[in-house]
Amino acid sequence: MDNATQVRLIGEVFAHLDAKTTAQASDIMYHETSAYYSPERLAQEKAILFRKYPLLMGLSGQLPEPGDFLTDDYSGVPIVVVRDRGGDVRAFLNVCRHRGARLVEGCGKAGRAFSCPYHGWSYSLQGKLMGIPDQGSFAGIDKEDRGLVELPAVERDGMIWVIPTPGATLDPDDHLAGLAPELANFGLADYHLYETKVLRRSFNWKMVIDTFLEPYHFGVLHADTVGPLLFPNLCLFDGFGHNLRETLPRRSIETLRSLPEIDWDLITHTAMVYVLFPNTVLVMQIDHVELWRVYPVADKVDECVMYLDFLIPQPVETESAKRHWERNMDLTIRTVDEEDFPVSTGIQSGMASKAQSTLVFGRNEPALAHFQRSINEALAAGS
Ligand code: FES
């Protein structure tokens, strides 16, 4: 983030602190509870949000070398993302063109080619069918036509984007609607993956993202953990198309008042939350990045799965560094898992009871309203 933006945002924080206010939506918003429990709604979300929109598959540091690959099945199609020999990132359906076996599992290094574990057909990292054992038995096959099915994939500013639909057009700049230069400034390509955790929980996928989108609950739910570090009920909000930036000031930001603006550093004194529509939350912490990518599980309205990728500025080379990042990751997971997610589980069961037909978002919850309104708009436009 450039210095002028940091100074402007810090100025807005000070203005809110002085006036005892927070960023406000233009009005309160009533939101249908069926968005969280309707199977029809989930089917629509899967068909539109998880098929037609660019999904962030990870950061460049997760595929540092040619041959490195990762897989993803949660969008609803089996995807393998790989860095090819020329250094480009490519994505394919993780499906062998012989009889459909999965080529690879999890993440790892493919070497120079993918080799199918069933009968040994091999594919280059650019998806070309290279080898067929006992090729004579497949006389007449057009190898050019039996390469892996490629998906649109773009690596930009350290982020790897894929649309899980062959032939779709992928333009990250268009998708990010003005946010791309700001994200580029963070130098995400230079971060190293410390660890990925996969969490599966019993509530609608959108609730994971909801929990990041207002500090109104900090003083109550997190009163004894992260709450004291941040201001309860104070945030800045900016929308970028369907994406958003939420700025959560730490109490330490007050120390900047006595410094010249040229020395103002926003990142040290905030948690910066970005929602990269539709299912990614990027949290810029003081010294690391959390990447949350959330998916529904199959056709279950009340089940979600999320990846938490923990990205750090330097590779871990000492035991003390390892302990430092272990503690950091542990605090992150305990905060959401012991405080936020139990509330989400309760909300989901309350939804199922149909006790009420709408939720209400206050004017002090503008990021939450923006996220849910963006989903409503995307579904309306996509149907
Ligand atoms: S299914 Fe892959 S080689 Fe047969």
Ligand 1 pocket, 96 CB below 6 A? Answer: yes
Positions in the chain whose pLDDT score sits under 70? none
Co-location of 249 and 364 in the same domain = yes
| Same domain, yes or no: 95 and 225 | no
Q: What is the pLDDT of residue 172?
A: 97
CATH of the domain at 286: 3.90.380.10
Å from CA of 370 to ligand 1 middle: 46
Would you say the CB of residue 148 lies under 6 angstroms from ligand 1? no
Output the pLDDT for position 335: 85
Contact indicator for 185, 1 with CB cutoff of 8 Å: yes
Smallest CA-to-CA distance from 156 within 141, 130, 174, 143 is with 174
pLDDT of the residue at 1: 84
- Say whether both 75 and 145 belong to one domain: yes
- Do 161 and 286 lie in one domain? The reply is no
Whether ligand 1 lies within 6 angstroms of the CB of 121 is answered as yes
Let me know whether 88 and 232 are in one domain.
no
What whole-number distance in Å separates Cα of residue 98 and Cα of residue 137? Answer: 12
CB 119 near ligand 1, within 6 Å: yes
What are the tens digits of pLDDT across the range 295-317? 999 999 999 999 999 999 999 99
Does residue 327 share a domain with residue 221?
A: yes
Q: How high is the pLDDT of residue 334? A: 87
Same domain, 330 and 284: yes
Q: Could you give the strand order of the β-sheet that contains 153-156, starting from the edge strand earlier in sequence?
A: 55-59, 159-162, 153-156
Instruction: Ligand 1 pocket test: pick from 93, 104, 114, 121 the residue with the most ligand atoms within 8 Å of its Cβ.
Output: 121
- Measured from the Cα of 101, ligand 1's closest atom is 1
Q: Do 79 and 196 share a structural domain?
A: no
Residues 200 and 286 both lie in one domain? yes
Long-range contact set of residues 163-170: C-beta below 8 Å, sequence gap at least 24? 163/51, 163/52, 163/53, 163/54, 163/55, 164/50, 164/51, 164/55, 164/75, 164/76, 164/77, 164/79, 165/51, 165/52, 166/93, 168/52, 170/54
Type and span of the H or E element at 219: helix 218-221
Ligand 1 closest atom vs CA 103: 2
- Three-class DSSP category at 274: strand
- Which of 169, 203, 223 delimits the end of a domain? 169
Determine the pLDDT at residue 226.
Answer: 85
* Domain housing 285: 3-53+178-382
Report the separation in Å between the CA atom of 122 and the middle of ligand 1, taken as the mean of its atom positions. Answer: 9
133 vs 164: CA distance, rounded Å:
30
- Looking at the fold, whether 74 and 96 belong to one and the same domain comes out as yes
Q: Is the CB of 130 under 6 A from ligand 1?
A: no
Centre of ligand 1 to C-alpha 108, Å, is 20
Count: domains in the chain: 2
Q: Using CA atoms of 363, 367, 368, 371 in order, give the dihedral in degrees to the nearest 10.
A: 130
The tens digit of pLDDT for each residue in 189-246 reads 999 999 999 999 999 999 999 999 999 999 999 998 888 999 999 999 999 999 999 9
Q: Which atom of ligand 1 is nearest to the CA of 133?
A: 3
Question: Which domain CATH number covers 106?
Answer: 2.102.10.10
Q: Which of 113, 142, 169 is the last residue of a domain?
A: 169
CA of 148 to the centre of ligand 1 (A): 12
Residue in 97, 115, 118, 137 to alter for ligand 1 test, most ligand atoms within 8 A of Cβ: 118
101 pocket-lining for ligand 1 (C-beta < 6 Å) = yes
CA 120 to ligand 1: nearest atom: 3
195 and 329 share a domain? yes
Same structural domain, 29 and 106 = no
Domain termination site, one of 142, 169, 196: 169
